[in-house]
Amino acid sequence: DLLVVGSANADLVIGVDRRPGAGETVLGSDLALHPGGKGANQAVAAARLGARTALLARVGDDAHGRLLLDSQRDAGVDTAAVLVGGAPTGVALITVDPSGDNSIVVSPGANGHLTPKDIRAASALLAASRVVSAQLEIPLETVVEVVRGLRPGTRFVLNPSPPRELPEDVLAACDPLILNEHEARVVLGVDTGDTPEQWAEALLARGPRSVVVTLGADGALVADTAGSARVPSVKVDAVDTTGAGDAFTAALAWRLGLGESLAEAAAYAARVGAAAVTREGAQASFPTAEEVAAL
């Protein structure tokens, strides 16, 4: 069983011809409101594939929080551990210009109130999970508490997004640490070369048992003490890459829990990521296992 510990946000999206300057107002498109946040996205992606998935997160006691809970339940996620209240639901205010570039302001809201105490209160759920997956849109001290609460035999998967340098005990727990180029550079903090093989080697030296570097249309690289290997991508017509990394991570975590090797799980995850880029949106783009098989 998979437990995702992480963020849940309402994504508020408006298309604009151009962004307003200071003191200026521009008119945009109709508002689109989508469930998002990396934790919520990963949980939906895993559940849609058929994984038994629970989400540990915090939302506000408000309409956005109910939207998040409904979308999780519709996907089949166990929401018994989603906490409600303390602050408004996290929001991402997103403007999209005609070239497709995003500008985003995030209000973490309730995500910032998911505390180490909340993690300790969910210790039974943590202990019952084969794989625990986290990201960094919640307080780092909360992720540290997740790592402390892991039972021997529970696998911990971390996508350090948004990226920052990480404490040793968190790095040492990762199996794997999953990140893209930008995240790898920030987590490393120093220039360690220009190839994914070099980043993976430098990251492994910091303590994780394994590392996966995602490379967009170029697939991924998996690495552990036994060596590294490229995972080819699947050729698709990319429409919208939003959420591809979340779908990839969720699929990888699930397949590892089924007992697959890192390379096998990453190959499956690459198919899931590829399927996710063929459709618009984040959660709306995540495939079922049947759709992955048909790819």
Is residue 216 part of an annotated ligand binding site?
yes
Rounded to the nearest angstrom, the gap between the alpha carbon of residue 171 and the centroid of all alpha carbons in its chain is: 17
- The catalytic residue among 78, 175, 224, 246 is 246
Name the minimum Å distance from CB 241 to ligand ADP: 5
116 binds ligand ADP (CB under 6 A): no
CB 138 within 8 A of CB 39: yes
Name the minimum Å distance from CB 213 to ligand ADP: 8
221 binds ligand ADP (CB under 6 A): no
180 binds ligand ADP (CB under 6 A): yes
138 vs 267 by CB, closer to ligand ADP: 267
Q: List the one residue from 205, 238, 239, 295 that touches ligand ADP (CB under 6 A).
A: 238
DSSP 223-263: EETTEEEEEPPPP---S--TTHHHHHHHHHHHHHHTT--HH
214 binds ligand ADP (CB under 6 A): yes
**How far is Cα 274 from Cα 241, in angstroms, rounded to an integer?**
9
Reading the block at residue 184, the tokens are: 């790898």
Give the torsion sign (CA, 51, 54, 57, 59): positive
Residue 101 annotated in active site? no
Helix (H) or strand (E) holding 222: strand 220-224
Q: List the one residue from 172, 215, 229, 284 that touches ligand ADP (CB under 6 A).
A: 215
Number of residues that bind ligand ADP (CB under 6 A): 19
Specify the DSSP class assigned to residue 88: P
- With 0-12 CB in 10 A as exposed, 13-18 as middle and 19+ as buried, what is 186? middle
Select from 10-18, 45-53, 54-62, 230-238 the region that touches ligand ADP (CB under 6 A): 230-238
**How far is Cα 210 from Cα 27, in angstroms, rounded to an integer?**
47
Q: List the one residue from 82, 132, 270, 292 that touches ligand ADP (CB under 6 A).
A: 270
Prior bond of 160 cis (ω within 30°): no
Show binding-site residues for K(+): 240, 242, 276, 279, 281, 285
> Which residues are part of a known binding site?
9-11, 37-41, 137, 180, 214-219, 240, 242, 245-246, 276, 279, 281, 285
User: Where along the sequence are the contacts to ligand ADP (CB under 6 A)?
Assistant: 180, 214-217, 219-220, 233-234, 236, 238, 241, 244-245, 248, 270, 273-274, 277
